[in-house]
Chain A
Amino acid sequence: MKAFATALLVCVAACGQGRAIFNVDVYSFLQGTGRDTFPYVIPPSLSTTVNTVQKVSLPPGFGSSGVDSVRITSGNVTLVNDSGAGSIGISVYFAGDSAGTYSAPAALTISPTAVSGADTVAVPISGDISAVVDSLFNQSVLWVRIEATGQNSSLTQTAGGTGILTALMIRVVLQDKVF
């Protein structure tokens, strides 16, 4: 990857005061691994949490960069509810290692989305996460955890279904000093 990095840095160097913008397709790292889907089963009157964790490789050279902004520009989870009713909230966490994603504050929290019966609901995920995670982009490896928290308000019926991640693109804007 050093050859990539060198070519990349030379290219950035050639662009003077321009910014370097990185669009990191996190979803591509999850796609096809099984970690892009999270089945949920929520017993009556209870809540449950499911997680999916993924390592993401970043280009080297971010180390001395000044991060202008980090934003989830394009993200989507499709909730395919099979039965029951409830609500599913989604949170996204970032950390430098896998375990750290469980202690890190949520970078982005999406308000619970109601599901009922056999239903398919798209939940868009987007927002500015600069304040929470900018320093993490100083590393060449990033871990992301997506947490879905389901709440079943029914007293009798179990809610069940599958959440399917279909997109998650993070846009990182760096100041010129990439290296």
Chain B
Amino acid sequence: MRTGVVALALVLLVLAPVRAAHAQFSFDARRFGMGGVSLGRDGNVSRFNPAYRAVKKRSTPNGAPRISIPIPIGLVDFLKQHPLGRLRYDPMFNPDSAGFNPIALMNLITSPPIFYDVKKPPAPTNDVEFTIGKNAFVMDLGEAQVLIPEQEFGLGTTSRVLDIAGPGIAGFHFGVMWFLHYDIGLTLDDSLRRVLKDADSVRANSIYSIRADALGQSGIAPTISYSGRITHGAGGADSSDDGFYLGGAVHYYLGAGYARGQGPAGFVTGTPVFVTTPTPLLDDTVWTSNKAFATGFGGDVGVAWISGPFEVGFGINDIGATLSWSDTKIQRFHYFSVGDSLSTELVANHVPTKTKLPITYVANSAIRMGTGTTVGGDVVNSGRGTVIHVGVEQRYTVFAIRGGVSRDQRKHMQFGFGGGLRFGGLGLDIGFWTHSPALSEKRAMTMATSISIY
């Protein structure tokens, strides 16, 4: 029972507001030190901006290393505290242990201990207090109230599992991509939120529910794309990366399948609250595709301009991407308290429906000043919330100092700072980065160390 409840708790917690993880999952300590901003031309920039596919992959654009190798100090520390031979008995991984804390485990999952945690992610261990009366049920979760989300929470993303450019000519390419989109949103109704977050009493004859809206779809998309350098600098095309770049792609989406569920789940209390059995509430509608090969058109557009030390770009994906599914089944799942039964009602079958892929984008900018200063920033939206990073690096001979700020998907400000040493093609970097893992409002701090090869 405990394991099951813990698993449920973990699922709920993992589904809760997902923080911006880009910087945390980078192995580049420079990026940590600059508040998560990436000065390179790979990763988000080339994923979201087709114009960048025409920019030559020079070894050190904006001083970015070719390879970053993490120094896993955090892993050493973690293994010291959690010996592999004793994981079975380790309270962190053993739900039967009194010391087991699902929040701490989720922090571990969402923040792998590659780097050293200077300030560990908060994992509330406070008392929780319940007041039970004939007509009252109050849950005072104490500090754990911060875990209860105020608004819709969930997770989702649009990814291109495979994006094969294929053969091309004069900047045009014919290829195919495999897209995957999922989005799960959960919203507590006002009464349930008040019970969990404000320690309001459960009231008689009231509805307490979570509203879910989940969509998953996948398919392939034959693509015609173009990326090219429209202008170049005064020294000619090969002298530098200077120029104006343009990119675009038209996708013909072929959906393989989709499913969507929408509706509330919860319970309705009786009178008195703690004497009568609450009635389960479930009234959800589910759409599923009967046949594959939904069709639809959409496109990507991107521009980039590089002029000496200055660089700016903007790319937007899946514009107008609406998939038409020709054959869909719509079912309604409804719980009836009379007879304690769950009914499945076929609302419609073999009917057409439409789904959309969310628009995703990235805007990036960087400038290298003659004084050894590089300033950069980016704005990324991968389908569920916008993340903003701004960072600066100042080099003095072999030394570098860095700083930056970011606003994560939960609109929390985060900070980074760090430094490095570079000797020729080899560098050693250290970066400190605050982040709000799990569901807490409080910040944790991670120290990243990496070796860079330029």
Contacts and interface: CB of A to CB of B under 8 A. Distances in A.
Interface of A: 1, 3-4, 6-25, 28-29, 31, 57-59, 64, 175-177, 179
Q: Which of A10, A13, A24 has the most CB of B within 10 A?
A: A13
Given A25-B134, A28-B133, A175-B98, A13 B5 contact: yes
A4 B137 CA distance: 9
Given A12-B128, A175-B98, A28 B134 contact: yes
9 contacts: A7-B196, A14-B9, A14-B124, A15-B126, A15-B141, A16-B124, A19-B127, A29-B134, A177-B98
A35 B377 CA distance: 71
Nearest to A31: B134
A25 B144 contact: no
B139 interface: yes
B145 to A, nearest CB: 10
Given A16-B124, A19-B128, A179-B2, 18 more contacts: A13-B6, A16-B104, A18-B127, A18-B142, A19-B127, A22-B129, A22-B131, A25-B131, A25-B132, A25-B134, A28-B133, A29-B134, A57-B132, A57-B274, A57-B275, A58-B132, A64-B2, A176-B98
A140 to B, nearest CB: 11
Contacts of A175: 98
A16 B266 CA distance: 25
Contact of B132 (A9, A14, A16, A23): A23
A8 B1 CA distance: 14
B102 interface: yes
Nearest to A16: B101
B293 interface: no
B267 A179 contact: no
A23 B140 CA distance: 11
Contacts of A177: 2, 98
A64 B280 CA distance: 26
A10 B141 CA distance: 11
B344 interface: no
Given A15-B128, A59-B130, A179-B5, A1 B135 contact: no
B5 A9 contact: yes
B65 interface: no
B202 interface: yes
A64 B95 CA distance: 14
Contacts of B202: 4
Interface of B: 1-2, 5-6, 8-9, 12-13, 98-104, 123-137, 139, 141-142, 144, 147, 196, 202, 208, 266-267, 274-275, 277-278, 280
Given A11-B139, A21-B129, A3 B266 contact: yes
B130 A21 contact: yes
B156 to A, nearest CB: 22
Given A16-B125, A25-B133, A179-B2, A6 B98 contact: no
B124 A6 contact: no
B2 A8 contact: no
B71 to A, nearest CB: 31
Contact of A17 (B6, B9, B99, B133): B99
Nearest to A27: B133
Given A14-B124, A21-B128, A23-B129, A3 B278 contact: yes
A21 B98 CA distance: 16
Contacts of B104: 16
Q: Which 3 A-B pairs have the closest CB atoms?
A: A16-B101, A28-B133, A25-B133
Nearest to A61: B1
Nearest to A171: B129
B318 to A, nearest CB: 36
B9 to A, nearest CB: 4
B126 A8 contact: no
A15 B128 CA distance: 7
Contact of B103 (A7, A14, A20, A59): A14
Contacts of B275: 29, 57
Nearest to A22: B130
Contacts of B98: 17, 175-177
A15 B125 contact: yes
Contacts of B1: 179
A10 B132 contact: no
A15 B5 contact: no
A18 B125 contact: yes
Contacts of B196: 7, 11
Contacts of B103: 14, 16
Contacts of A59: 130, 132
A15 B101 CA distance: 7
Nearest to B140: A21
Contacts of A4: 137, 202, 267, 278
A6 B129 CA distance: 16
A59 B202 CA distance: 14
Given A18-B125, A31-B134, A57-B274, A8 B139 contact: yes
